Amino acid sequence: MIVNLEGLKARIDIVEVIGKFIPLKKEGANWSACCPFHEEKSPSFKVNPNKQIYHCFGCNAGGDAIKFYQEFKHCNFQEAVQEIADMLGYSLEIKGGVDLNKYFELLGKVNGIFTEELKTQSNVLKYLFNRGLNADDLALFDIGYIPKDLPKHLSLQECEALEELGLLFKNKGGGFFVPLQNRISFAMRNFTHKVVGFSGRTHPYSNFKNSAKYINSKESRLFHKSQLLYGISLAKRHISSQKECFIVEGFMDVIAMHKLGFKNTIATCGTAFNTQHLSAINRVCDGVVIKCCFDKDAAGQKAALKASELLYNQGFLNAEVVRVKEECKDIGELLEKGIKSSFESVGVLEFFIAQTLENAQDIKAKDAFINKIRAEISAQKNFYQKSLMVETLKKLGIPFEAAKKVSKVQKQNSQLPFLSLLKTCIYDERVLDLCANYLEPVEFGAFKEDFIALLRKESTQNLNKLSLDEKIDVVAFGDVRFMIFELKRRFLEWQLKDAKLKGDAQALLLLSQQLAQITEIKPS
């Protein structure tokens, strides 16, 4: 029996728990995402922080944070409670309960042993310095050396704890041995900068024949490599301030990027980029532009394709795939050769479509993929994303042939951008201020009076319905400029068409000039 279960429930923030596994986006008072329990392109999964519940309007999955954890991780109630408590650093009052702080303190002590040991390894130090690192880098990124005699520095109780954490193994004689011995150590820290595990790297001064270049300590109650992003505790402040995040492949790539000035860089820990990684980045700040910068070799490009597909499926269409322009295999080689880097980038959707078509085995496979993308564009509710998807197809020379709709549906779809922007204005005064500065009420068409009411801090029946309509998406703040531009363009095109029908030459000239001028909107 868990004595303090209610205390744990009081500590749980459902947005924080679910947000560790799927990328949530703010939507008024609630949060939304594509449901992890069934396939969908438009988010129908809603999280209510006030009631501490979630519900999917597509498959009817729902419950509290513990229920979500059980369903997502395929575990029982007891396991879910324990793991959530571990996640929050909350000590459960149960028989055999564990104080996680003791594990964190022990790993911190071990990290200190490793960093001190490195100072005695002159050849390894020289090797690291030749790769472009210095003493400050070694200290900042907790780089050390894993001695064979690690157990001699520890008590029996500490050795047993490290066995549980996967850093020590027991041999047949009852003693302990170090599976990562003689390797260069990289401490892996969690979001709050606590050491949760280690990775060991080979070097030229020990015999690592037929051994992997990197080996991680095994997964434990503290370390889950599919959830951890290397460097996140150092990079999160820079990601938040710059609204950009570079994703690279390895530890040395992260360090190299930091030294080159890109301190908003993190890496996966030997696993493919996944929704849990994406969610961890999304926790740092909303609207972050993710830039995938993987190696130029075949494996790196395969990883980039998988990441681009994930970002596309999760609706992160502002993401980019980035490559270094120089003739280097990876970022680490840039640092080693002392080359100042410059990048070339392509939109994540453009990369995903182009690479998938290039990899397709025949014309039939290409046609099937293009038709799949077209169907997904037709089903897309978000006006900005739909426009971006159509423009990407055009850029690749692929015509978009949307399925014809009945006139009523066409009218509803034509109203979506106005409704999405109005709904966003209800919840975000920054967006309302931008619209007031750059749009005239008449440019909202049939919703002119509703926009005027918003400006007057008044309400209308349409606005009340709109605030509760889950089918209308809120516009991400980073997409507002594009939306305003599109509405102005659409309104000018309508006026231009009207002027042509009336034969008003003067209006035609003026409107044509205005339409040509609004190529970009830059609200101050």
The number of folded domains in the chain is: 5
Torsion 150-153-158-160 (CA) sign: positive
Examine the pLDDT at 402 and tell me if it is beyond 60. no
The domain boundary residue, chosen from 395, 418, 447: 395
Specify the range with the lowest mean pLDDT, choosing from 107-121, 246-260, 343-357, 390-404.
390-404
Is residue 475 in some structural domain? yes
Q: 251 and 192 in one domain?
A: no
The domain boundary residue, chosen from 88, 120, 148: 88
Closest CA to 480 of 429, 441, 514: 429
Give the pLDDT confidence score for residue 4 in this predicted structure. Answer: 80
The DSSP symbol for 56 reads E
Query: What's the CATH code of the domain at 61?
Result: 3.90.580.10
- The answer to whether 215 touches 199, Cβ cutoff 8 Å, is yes
pLDDT mean over 280-298: 86
pTM metric for this prediction = 0.64
Residue with tokens 């995402």: 33
Sorting pLDDT into bands at 50, 70 and 90, what band is 79? confident
Is residue 76 in some structural domain? yes
Q: Which residues pair with 27 in a beta bridge?
A: 30
pLDDT in tens, 215-258: 999 988 888 888 889 999 999 889 988 999 999 988 999 999 99
Strands 195-201 and 214-216: antiparallel
- Distance between CA 278 and CA 245 in Å, rounded? 11
Is residue 472 in some structural domain? yes
Q: 381 and 436 in one domain?
A: no
Q: 372 and 338 in one domain?
A: no
Give the pLDDT confidence score for residue 98 in this predicted structure. Answer: 59
- The answer to whether 228 touches 306, Cβ cutoff 8 Å, is no
Give the pLDDT confidence score for residue 334 in this predicted structure. Answer: 75
Q: 45 and 22 in one domain?
A: yes
Q: Which residues pair with 26 in a beta bridge?
A: 31
Mean pLDDT of the chain: 85
pLDDT mean over 264-289: 86
Q: 292 and 264 in one domain?
A: yes
Specify the range with the lowest mean pLDDT, choosing from 25-34, 140-149, 167-176, 404-413.
404-413
Q: Which two tokens stand for residue 393?
A: 């197809």
Q: Which two tokens stand for residue 281?
A: 């980045």
Is residue 28 in some structural domain? yes
Q: 185 and 115 in one domain?
A: yes
**Which of 201-205, 391-395, 460-464 ranks highest by mean pLDDT?**
201-205
Query: What's the CATH code of the domain at 266?
Result: 3.40.1360.10
Q: Which two tokens stand for residue 279?
A: 């969610």
Give the pLDDT confidence score for residue 522 in this predicted structure. Answer: 44
- How many Å separate Cα 419 from the centre of its chain? 27
**Residue bearing the bigger pLDDT, 405 or 4:** 4
Name, in order, each residue with C-beta under 8 angstroms of 302's C-beta and a sequence gap of 6 or more. none
Q: 496 and 420 in one domain?
A: yes
3-state secondary structure of 145: strand
- DSSP H helices, 220-297, are 232-242, 251-259, 275-284
- The answer to whether 199 touches 251, Cβ cutoff 8 Å, is yes
Mapping DSSP onto H, E and C, the string for 94-143 reads CCCCCCHHHHHHHHHHHHHHHHHHHCCCHHHHHHHHHCCCCHHHHHHCCE
Q: 198 and 110 in one domain?
A: yes
Is residue 26 in some structural domain? yes
261: region left, alpha or beta (phi > 0 left; psi from -120 to 50 alpha): left
Q: Which two tokens stand for residue 33?
A: 């995402």
> What are residue 144's phi and psi, to 5 degrees?
-145, -160
Q: What does the angle CA 435 – CA 437 – CA 441 come to, to the nearest 5 degrees?
A: 60
> What are residue 232's phi and psi, to 5 degrees?
-65, -35
Give the pLDDT confidence score for residue 127 in this predicted structure. Answer: 95
Is residue 522 in some structural domain? no
- The answer to whether 140 touches 231, Cβ cutoff 8 Å, is no
Examine the pLDDT at 414 and tell me if it is beyond 80. no
Q: 427 and 504 in one domain?
A: yes
- Distance between CA 178 and CA 185 in Å, rounded? 12
Q: 141 and 235 in one domain?
A: no
> What are residue 52's phi and psi, to 5 degrees?
55, 45
Q: 312 and 190 in one domain?
A: no
Specify the range with the lowest mean pLDDT, choosing from 141-155, 235-249, 419-433, 487-501.
487-501
Is residue 400 in some structural domain? no
The domain boundary residue, chosen from 337, 372, 395: 395
- DSSP H helices, 323-406, are 331-337, 348-359, 363-379, 383-395
The H or E element containing residue 489 is helix 480-502
Q: Which residues pair with 246 in a beta bridge?
A: 265, 291
Residue type for 142, please? D
Query: In angstroms, how far is the first alpha carbon of the chain from the final one?
Result: 58
Q: 158 and 233 in one domain?
A: no
Q: Which residues pair with 145 in a beta bridge?
A: 184
Query: What's the CATH code of the domain at 211?
Result: 3.90.980.10
210: region left, alpha or beta (phi > 0 left; psi from -120 to 50 alpha): left
Is residue 222 in some structural domain? no
**What is the residue range of 238's domain?**
229-359
